């Protein structure tokens, strides 16, 4: 390759830019890293909460838009936590009764969802400032963030060293790789909580017209407090059958289904047909007919939580002052099943010092006519 050609490839390949992004009230600095791909996709990551703050993608006509809900600056995530784009842990989703038993010992974890613990409690990983371990140009462009959770943090046993690597390639695929090592047996279930609107965050029509596919023949129904009953129920003939593309709004207000009433829409885990896999495999596909944008979600985990923004109530301005309301976003969170620390029949969330945790997920963006 000639020098001129090498410079052209370099100019068009994915890059990474690090910048200050504010601070906590106590003065702790927050930084951002922006990853940019040759095809126009870019991702901005904050060290606060290891958060995916923005994900900009072109539509079928090449017009860019930010497709994740959130806030314009770090102060919004600190002052109005709503899980937008954050890394959630130690244990994502709900733990029934805010506790679990491990090797005969009962551990109590924070109650922040009625009687239950949600997304690691009120001081989970989403509210920590992570340190940057590496920033690299691509392809792929990448940033590695790290956090140490001490033994007993929020009631969980074991000192936990966690890393999250965001990597953006030149085809528009953002890979998020989680790894964790512990000094004692403990529970870990990490995911990203991005809330998407492929028409662009704040688009007036919300996500009601998005078409969703989830390759899952069963889901895990919940009780009225949204804790799994332990059943894996077939989706066939129900509002939960997304095995073929289906408009999200088709059954989201079907009050005849108790599960829809319990979640105020969709807030449920799907048992992926693929199960737990060594490499990321398809878990969901979202298509927006209005913009032509398509999002494919891949994961190594056995489940994916579908959440349709049911608790967004328009009281907290987001990006550009937009008031997000019910149905304005869709979260697709790959993970172990909810309440898995209390469900021996579910895929275990346990890790040990000699069996570290690893989860790789991918948000792959493209367009269609």
Burial class from Cβ neighbours inside 10 Å (0-12, 13-18, 19+) for residue 273 reads middle
C-alpha torsion angle, residues 76, 82, 88, 90 (rounded to 10): 100
Q: How many CA atoms lie within 13 Å of 225's alpha carbon, on the beta-carbon side?
A: 14
Contact assessment for residue 348 and residue 337, using Cβ atoms and an 8 Å cutoff: no
Residue of 193, 210, 322, 359 with catalytic role = 193
Contact assessment for residue 126 and residue 49, using Cβ atoms and an 8 Å cutoff: yes
193 belongs to the catalytic site? yes
Contact assessment for residue 193 and residue 83, using Cβ atoms and an 8 Å cutoff: yes
Q: 296, 274, 299, 276: which is closest to 287 by C-alpha?
A: 296
Angle at CA of residue 67, ends 303 and 265, nearest 5°? 50
**267: which 2 tokens?**
């807030």
**181: which 2 tokens?**
């090592």
- 3-class SS of residue 181: strand
Q: 187, 199, 167, 238: which is closest to 15 by C-alpha?
A: 167
Q: d(Cα 274, Cα 296) in Å, to the nearest integer? A: 15
Distant-in-sequence, close-in-space partners of 177: CB < 8 Å, separation ≥ 6? 164, 165, 167, 358, 359, 360, 361
281 belongs to the catalytic site? no
Q: 61, 44, 56: which is closest to 367 by C-alpha?
A: 61
> 298-330: b or e for each residue (b if 16 or more CB lie within 10 Å)?
bbbbbbbbbbbbeebeeeeebbeebebebbbbb
Per this entry, what is the length of the chain? 369
**114: which 2 tokens?**
């009625």
Residue of 31, 287, 301, 333 with catalytic role = 333
Catalytic residues: 193, 333
């Amino acid at each position: 390759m000639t020098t001129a050609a090498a410079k052209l490839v370099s100019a068009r390949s994915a890059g990474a830019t690090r910048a200050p992004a504010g601070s906590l009230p106590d003065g702790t600095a927050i930084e951002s890293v922006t990853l940019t791909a040759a095809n126009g996709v870019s991702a901005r990551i904050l060290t606060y909460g290891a958060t995916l703050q923005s994900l900009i993608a072109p539509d079928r006509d090449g017009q860019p838009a930010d497709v994740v809900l959130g806030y314009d600056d770090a102060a919004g995530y600190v002052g109005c936590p709503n899980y937008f784009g954050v890394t959630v842990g130690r244990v994502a989703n709900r733990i029934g009764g805010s506790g679990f038993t491990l090797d005969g010992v009962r551990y109590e974890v924070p109650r922040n969802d009625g009687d239950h613990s949600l997304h690691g409690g009120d001081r989970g990983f989403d509210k920590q400032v992570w340190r940057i371990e590496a920033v690299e140009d691509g392809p792929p462009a990448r940033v590695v963030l790290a956090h140490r959770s001490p033994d007993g943090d929020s009631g969980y046993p074991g000192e936990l060293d966690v890393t999250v690597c965001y990597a953006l390639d030149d085809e528009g695929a953002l890979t998020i790789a989680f790894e964790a090592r512990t000094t004692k047996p403990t529970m870990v279930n990490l995911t990203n909580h991005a809330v998407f609107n492929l028409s662009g965050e704040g688009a007036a029509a919300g996500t009601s017209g998005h078409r969703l596919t989830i390759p899952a023949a069963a889901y895990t129904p919940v009780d009225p407090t949204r804790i799994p009953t332990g059943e894996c129920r077939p989706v066939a003939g129900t509002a939960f059958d997304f095995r073929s593309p289906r408009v999200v709004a088709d059954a989201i207000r079907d009050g005849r289904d108790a599960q829809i009433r319990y979640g105020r829409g969709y807030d449920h885990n799907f048992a992926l047909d693929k199960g737990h896999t060594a490499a990321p495999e398809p878990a969901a596909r979202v298509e927006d007919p209005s913009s032509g944008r398509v999002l494919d979600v891949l994961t190594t985990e056995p489940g994916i939580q579908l959440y349709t923004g049911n608790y967004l109530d328009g009281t907290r301005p987001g990006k550009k002052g937009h008031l997000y309301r019910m149905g304005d976003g869709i979260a697709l969170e790959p993970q172990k099943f909810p309440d898995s620390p209390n469900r021996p029949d579910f895929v275990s969330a346990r890790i040990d010092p000699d069996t570290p945790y690893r989860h790789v997920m991918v948000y792959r963006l493209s367009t269609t006519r």
